Amino acid sequence: MHKERKKQLRKEALARRDALDPFWRIEASLEMAETARDNVSFEPGAIVSGFWPMRSEVDVRPMMFALREHGARLCLPAILDKTTIAFRELVRGAPLVEMGFGTHGPGEEAEVLDPDIMLIPLAAFDPRGHRIGYGAGYYDRAISRLHDAGKQPRLIGIAFDCQEVPEVPDEPHDVVIPEILTESGLRRFTQQL
């Protein structure tokens, strides 16, 4: 039941996102980069994981580069197998390799890092910070692994406003995202229901 509902909400939210004007998406992504630069504070050398945008996702590359200008070390997810992603350092000038799903990332020679701040892609989110990913569970498992290792990265979901849905059905394994950055700004969710 939950699975079907999530599937439907994902499909509807992604259809709304796909329908956004491509030029507007670029403008919104640039604005969001400025919002992140002004509102996401960290110590120099902090590790920020971003993602290579696919299809109609927010293009977080300007955001990642704005954070790098403030001293962040960047990394991107690398899909290791059907269940696991690792975060490999993104070094200026290093080659990117095809990662599947139309996305790219650093190759095997790149250093694997544990992010202090995670910019998280998502298909849909609700006003409580519950998210729907793309269905593979990579981020849920990666975050769970970091928590098991005693790390508490700052989690920031990245989406457009049109991806908000009234309510995401709760499942026990879901990771609630305390902050969501959209073109309207950075929203923090206090109640963890």
List, for residues 78-87, the tens digit of each pLDDT value: 988 888 899 9
Q: Is the pLDDT of residue 192 over 70?
A: no
Quickly state the pLDDT bin for 191 (edges 50, 70, 90): low
Q: Is the pLDDT of residue 193 over 60?
A: no
User: What is the pairing mode between strands 124-125 and 131-132?
Assistant: antiparallel
Name the more confident of 96 and 18: 18
Residue pair 155/131 in contact (Cβ under 8 Å)? The answer is no
Q: How far apart are CA 179 and CA 118, in angstroms?
A: 11
pLDDT at 101: 66
Structure tokens given for 88:
């490999």
> What does CATH list as the number for 2-169+179-188?
3.40.50.10420
Quickly state the pLDDT bin for 24 (edges 50, 70, 90): very high
Name the more confident of 59 and 96: 59
Q: How far apart are CA 72 and CA 66, in angstroms?
A: 9
**pLDDT tens string 144-169:** 999 999 999 999 999 999 999 999 99
Residue pair 33/59 in contact (Cβ under 8 Å)? The answer is no
Structure tokens given for 73:
């070390």
What are the domain boundaries of the chain?
2-169+179-188
pLDDT at 95: 81
Share of the chain above pLDDT 90, in %: 75
SS3 71: coil
SS3 44: coil
CA 6 to mean position of chain CA atoms: 18
Q: Is the pLDDT of residue 170 over 70?
A: yes
pTM: 0.93
